[in-house]
Every structure is written in structure tokens, then in C-alpha cells.
Amino acid sequence: MKGKWSAYLAAVGTITLWGMSYIWSDRLLDLKIPVEFFVPVRTLLAGILLFILNKIAQYDMRIRRKDWLKYLLLALCMPFIYFVAETYGLQFTDSPTITSLIIATNPLFAMMVGLLIFKEKFSPVNILGVFVTLGGLWLVTYTRTEPGPMFYWGILILFIAVMAEVSQIAFTKSLSDTYAPSVIVMYQFLFGAVFFLPLFLTKGIAQFDAALYLSWKVLYPTLSLALLCSATAFTIWAYAIKHLGVAHTSVFLAVCPLLTAILAFLFADERLTALQWGGMAIAMAGIYLTQRVTEKKN
């Protein structure tokens, strides 16, 4: 139980950091920093930091021959496909909360993976809890009046990000019994940085302006994304997946829009209506229902 509660805390910490990541990414996009620049930099810095920490902790970092393909597919799904799709989706929808809502549909697909691949068991009430959560989140994020010309393309791209995230959760779960969480995430980001290299060398630095790109207003959100939202968040997320399973861990992703809306209210001057606050209450009830029923069943 001690390990399970620490996994719950890890999941909550992860989604809090990821909720903030939408705001930091949005700031960089507002500054016209290209996706192909700050996402590869974020990925590489996270990988280097984790390499240093794993060396200090003296973890075994050898990759077994049979696991090389899993690591490459893991890095291809996340960070490469996911971060590109998520950031372009954010750019096209022009809304951190809408973006986080689409990403929050992850539990529906993750449940299928947990049921079909890892044989995880869920009651009908567990599944109902996910839908209740998503219904509440829809109320939280239902703020748009007239979508922009690229809005629906952004929605489509975000669903590609969702499928990439579900895939990376499955690969992480399959590796978590053999490798430490920080080792899995380290290779995930180092290999991901290699996938990003062609984009970085072409579009990423095509309009490089040292006065802007090396200024604190760019470095601050970039370092925050790398050190907190990537290195720290993904490591404790892998720990949560190991102890809670694929589908139950993914349910926590449904709270990301809730946290994003609150953080946007606090740090980005985004005001919430009474309807949105009501949606938050419904969403939290759905999360409680899903996890509470699981506890009783166990």
C-alpha cells in the first residue's frame, strides 16, 4: 500500500507539471519560437539531466538486445510524434485548455490497451467514472465561440498525439519490470533528440535570433519544460505506471484540463465561469468514482 500511495502522489505530481506545460508552451508560441526549436532543446536537455542523475545513482543503464526495438518505438511515439502533434495542435487551436481536454481522452484508449494487452480488470463503474470525468471537463473547457480557420485541423492533430501517448504508456509498462523509471525516460529522451535532429537543423534554427532565443523570457519556459515537465514528470510518471498499471494511471490524465484551467486562471489571466467551476466539481467526482471503486474491488 505504501508503494501504491506513493504512485498516486507521483501521478498527481506529473499531471500538475503537465498542466503547467501547456502554459509555458503557449508562451513560447506567442513569442514566435518555432516548435522545431524548443521541443528538441527540451528533449535533449531532459535526456542529459537524467543521464547525469542515473550516473550519480549508479543505475544499470545497459539495454538488453531484445529491448532495443521497444526503446526506439517508445522514443518515436514519445517524445517525437507526441510533442510535435501536441504543440502544433496547441498552435492551431490557440487554447491550452482545449488542447489539454483532447489529450484527456487518453484514458478511453488506454483502457482498451490495459484490457486487451495487459489483461487489467475493470468494472462497468470504473468505465462510467471516466465518462463522468470527461463530461465535467467538457463543461470546464467549453469556452470557445467562433473557432479559427485551423481549429479543427488542430483537433485532428491532437488525437494523433493521444494515440502516440497511449502507445508510449504501453511500451513503458512493458519495460518497467526490467529497468528503473529514470533509465527508461533517459533513453526515451536521448533517442527522441536524435529523431528531432533533422527538424531542428532545418526549421528549428532557420530564423535563429540570439537576442530573442537566448533571452530569459525564452530560456525560462524552455528550461521549465525540460527539467520539470520532461525529466521530472516523465520519471515519476513511469514509476506510477509500474505500480498502478496502464489504464488506472491514464485516468489521472483526465485531470490535466482541470489543472490547466486553474493554472491559466492564476498565471495567465484566464477567467472561469460558474459553469466551468461546476464542470470541475463533476470531473473530480468522476476521478474519485473511478479510483474509489478500484480500491474497494482490490
Closest CA to 93 of 149, 139, 163: 149
Q: What is the pLDDT of residue 198?
A: 93
Residues 260 and 10: their CA atoms lie apart, in Å, by 18
Return contacts of 91-95, CB within 8 angstroms, 24+ apart: 91/29, 91/35, 91/154, 92/148, 92/150, 92/151, 92/153, 92/154, 92/157, 93/147, 93/148, 93/150, 93/151, 93/154, 93/155, 93/158, 94/148, 94/151, 94/154, 95/141, 95/143, 95/144
Whole-prediction pTM value? 0.74
Q: How many CA atoms lie within 13 A of 205 on its CB side?
A: 9
Which of residues 24 and 273 earns the better pLDDT score? 24
Q: How far apart are CA 23 and CA 44, in angstroms?
A: 20
Q: Domain extents for the chain?
A: 2-127+146-257
- In this predicted structure, the answer to whether residue 169 has a pLDDT above a threshold of 70 is yes
Instruction: Give the mean pLDDT of 187-201.
Output: 94
Please provide the average confidence, as pLDDT, over all residues in the chain: 81
pLDDT in the model for residue 286: 74
The model's pLDDT over 47-89, given as tens digits with 9 standing for 90+, comes to 999 999 999 989 999 999 999 999 999 999 988 998 889 888 8
**Rounded mean pLDDT, 273-292:** 71
Whole-number pLDDT of residue 293: 45
Quick: pLDDT tens for 89-120.
888 887 777 777 777 777 667 666 666 666 66
Distance CA 166, CA 81 (A): 12
